[in-house]
Amino acid sequence: PLRASVELPASGRTIEAAAVTVLPAADARTHTVRVRVDLPAGTEDVLPGSFARVHFHGAAVPPAAGQPVVIPTAAVLRRGELTAVYQADSQGAFTLRQIRLGRTLPGGEAVEVLSGLKGDETLALDPVQAGIQARSPAAAR
């Protein structure tokens, strides 16, 4: 299940969401979905229109046997003959992983991975930024 925490910078509070619902429609033009985050009882002082950051949590679920691994198209890095993704380790450092792609799913927002991933990895959705971070001296171990 998807979980979320709501950070309220104005008050310095972070609140665990009572429920998270991903609405079942995506906007094909903006490649976005709407998510409803319900706050628990006792948060009546949080007013509509307040600025908040929402952090989503949840372990990736590996695909069932026989099901393909599917990742967002935005996570794929293509450089000449190389097709890869940046995988985050437990410290948040990124490593380039070569993959082999299958078919692009309807709508073009996701693609099957035939080899190179198990399905339980944490991937960068912005491979260019992850590549910059992977090469920076601060990311070196």
Q: What are the structural domains of the chain?
A: 3-57 (no CATH), 69-139 (2.40.420.20)
Contacts of 58 (CB under 8 A, 6+ apart): 1, 2, 3
In degrees and rounded to multiples of 5, residue 126 shows phi and psi of -125, 90
Exposed, middle or buried by CB within 10 Å (0-12, 13-18, 19+), for 112? Answer: middle
**pTM > 0.75: yes or no:** no
What average pLDDT does the structure give for the chain?
83
pLDDT band at 77 (very low <50, low <70, confident <90, very high): very high
In degrees and rounded to multiples of 5, residue 70 shows phi and psi of -125, 130
pLDDT digits (tens, 9 = 90+) for 3-37: 889 999 989 999 999 998 877 776 777 777 788 89
CA distances from 5 to 17, 23, 37, 38 (A): 5, 18, 9, 10
pLDDT band at 58 (very low <50, low <70, confident <90, very high): low
Exposed, middle or buried by CB within 10 Å (0-12, 13-18, 19+), for 91? Answer: exposed
- pLDDT at residue 84, as a whole number: 94
- Nearest CA to 121 among 72, 92, 87, 78? 87
